[in-house]
Amino acid sequence: MVIANAIGDSFLNKCYQNDKFFIAIQDAYTPIFGWTEPYPLLLLLLILLIILPAIFKFSSQGSFLKIYRLYNIIRLGLLSLLHQITYSYTIQSFLSMIIRQPGPCIVDEEYNFSLNDLQFPFSAAMSAAIFVFSVARFSGINKYRSVLYFTIFLTPVVIFIMSSGLSSLFQVITSILISYLLHFCHLYIPFRWIHLENAIVCILNIIGTVCWLIYQDDPPRNVVYCMLFPFAVLLIDEFMIIRHQVTRGGFSTVERPADLSWTIETQHSESIRLLNSDEEENFDRNLDTDIMTAFIAFLLFFSAILGRQLVVTVNFFQAPT
């Protein structure tokens, strides 16, 4: 039961928690939109990065240059989306420590402010928005249709988050706008600069974590529990990007995420020719490497979950916040 509004009583900031409505729509919302939250979406992307090279390796479509280019484009698109989804943990954690704004609802008379209560920006809204923005961009949907699809897809997400009491209207809308800004910047930053971006984000999170431990009365176990996953997904993202860059000799084919498109290979007149023996051997070697790389990343992902469980006893399958 809601006791008070934690932020304010205005239309944009008040608590809209409604247990009856939340429970009524939860059964429909979870299977349709629940997978767009950061935790299941990261898990889904890692699984796809394992399955994708396996499909190309064992399919019998022939070793055409078009197939080779198509695979690299799809995989790089998945890596681009994986990198952006990490913002829901890495950028979100740093911004939340700076903004220091909790969720809109106070449901306990003995309310104690902690790092785990910082809900702005809201990670679930960020990951859902980034997913929609990325799919629209990668598929080449025009701007007018994109706005329509964004509205149709994100409106139920906003309503569900508000009815859960986890975020106010202002918080969830602003989180979506922050996501679009991050997505737009990501599109035009060359892939090779992602390493510098990850280093800066890592340093900012380290500074934020240390300052929080020094100046806030928050148990260290709780801080470790909250910050372990942002650092873990940052490590996984950097590992995947480095492995792709090393095995492909850089990003000469697609320098920026903005250059990714399903129709990119139509620009190449040689796309229907067969690969020569050296190219075919290199393609097969890359597929093996990609399967192993994604599998290692998958193990790192679950190692982070186990690490959190050692710090604070929680359900193993509970989504990290």
| pLDDT tens-digit series, residues 98-153 | 887 877 776 665 555 566 667 778 888 888 889 988 888 887 777 777 788 888 88
Q: What are the domain boundaries of the chain?
A: 13-311
Q: Is the pLDDT of residue 207 over 80?
A: yes
Q: Is the pLDDT of residue 36 over 70?
A: yes
Mean of pLDDT values over 221-248: 87
Mean of pLDDT values over 48-56: 90
Q: Is the pLDDT of residue 199 over 90?
A: yes
pLDDT at 317: 40
Tens-place pLDDT, residues 62-80: 555 567 778 888 888 899 9
pLDDT at 161: 81
pLDDT at 311: 67
The pTM of the full predicted model, rounded to 2 decimals, is 0.84
Print the SS3 string covering the chain. Answer: CCCEECCCCCCCCCCCCCHHHHHHHHHHHHHHHHHHCHHHHHHHHHHHHHHHHHHHHHCCCCCEHHHHHHHHHHHHHHHHHHHHHHCCCHHHHHHHHHHCCECCEECCCCCCCCHHHECCCCHHHHHHHHHHHHHHHHHCCCHHHHHHHHHHHHHHHHHHHHHHCCCCHHHHHHHHHHHHHHHHHHHCCCHHHHHHHHHHHHHHHHHHHHHHHHHCCCCHHHHHHHHHHHHHHHHHHHHHHHHHHHHHCCCCCCCCHHHCCCCHHHHCCCCCCECCHHHHHHHHHHHHHHHHHHHHHHHHHHHHHHHHHHHCCCCCCCCCC
Q: Is the pLDDT of residue 83 over 90?
A: yes
